[in-house]
Structure 1
Amino acid sequence: MSYLWVKAFHIIFVASWFAGLFYLPRVFVNLAMVPSDSHAERERLLLMARKLYRFMMVLMVPAFVLGLVLWLYFGIGKGDGWMHAKLTLVAGVLVYQEFCRRVLKDFENSANKRSHKWFRVFNEITVLLFIAIVVLVVVKPF
């Protein structure tokens, strides 16, 4: 029975973590569109982005730990190709999150050079990663 609890909470934390990953780039879209003379709007959006990033980091830790428990303790996917592909994509998600941190720093330092259109496309990367990870876990194609 503990396996099902670990699995359920892993899914809950992963979905919550990804909710932040879906939304943070939307905040970047809005930040990129803020007129240079709108300091209050910029500061409000930066505050939202900072809080959202911290919240994502908090959610990522139990998602990661519970995933390790499923893999190492319960043996889920050990030696399976789909798990290797999933772990590669999870590494991609971590790289994406680190890139978001750097983008946030650029906005904080007024050093962003990207347009809101670029961030709209950037936002879709997490959707593709999420779809690929879910398909690998559910379908286990290899």
Structure 2
Amino acid sequence: MILKALHIIFMVTWFAGLFYLPRLFVYHAMSEDSPSIERFKIMERKLYYGIMTPGMLLTLLFGSWMLVDYAWAMYSSFGWLHVKLALIVFLVIYHAFCGKWLNDFKHDRNRHSHVYFRWVNEIPVLFLFAIVFLATLKPF
């Protein structure tokens, strides 16, 4: 049970960053003055490296530990687990894209509008709904 609690705690931490970083990108893309742009660069870097990435790594660590410890033996024949794991792979890819966008902003190379990042900001919501429903309902 402690593994599951730690997994959930760090998943919440990871998702907090996944929800907030694209919102910072929205405001950063709208900024035109140098002090604001530099402030967003600092906030984005601290969020990505100080909260999101450790949250992701610890979520994956404790999730993998549960998978190896008992979940795979219990649920490997169920399709919901395979779909959930595939969604997690795509979520890690999304996280990497956030890192790419962070790097683009860092080097003043962003080519996307604030509207683009408003849409990007909705992606983790879809993943959260799907993953939580799969993990709790175990529908197939």
TM-score (norm 1): 0.93
For residues 1-142 of structure 1, the aligned pairs below 5 Å read 4-35=1-32, 38-54=33-49, 55-76=51-72, 77-142=75-140
* Stretches of 4+ aligned residues off by more than 3 angstroms: none
CA distance in 2 between counterparts of 1:19 and 1:75 reads 25
Q: CA deviation at 1:75?
A: 2.5
- Quote the RMSD (CA, aligned, Å): 0.9
Confirm or deny: 8 A CA contact 1:71 1:78 kept in the other structure: no
Structure 1 CA distance, aligned partners of 2:13 and 2:122?
17
* Structure 1: stretches of 5+ with no match in the other structure: none
How far has the Cα of 1:5 moved from its partner? Answer: 1.0
- Please give the TM-score of this superposition, normalised by the length of structure 2: 0.94
Paired residue total: 137
Q: Which runs of 5+ in 2 are unaligned?
A: none
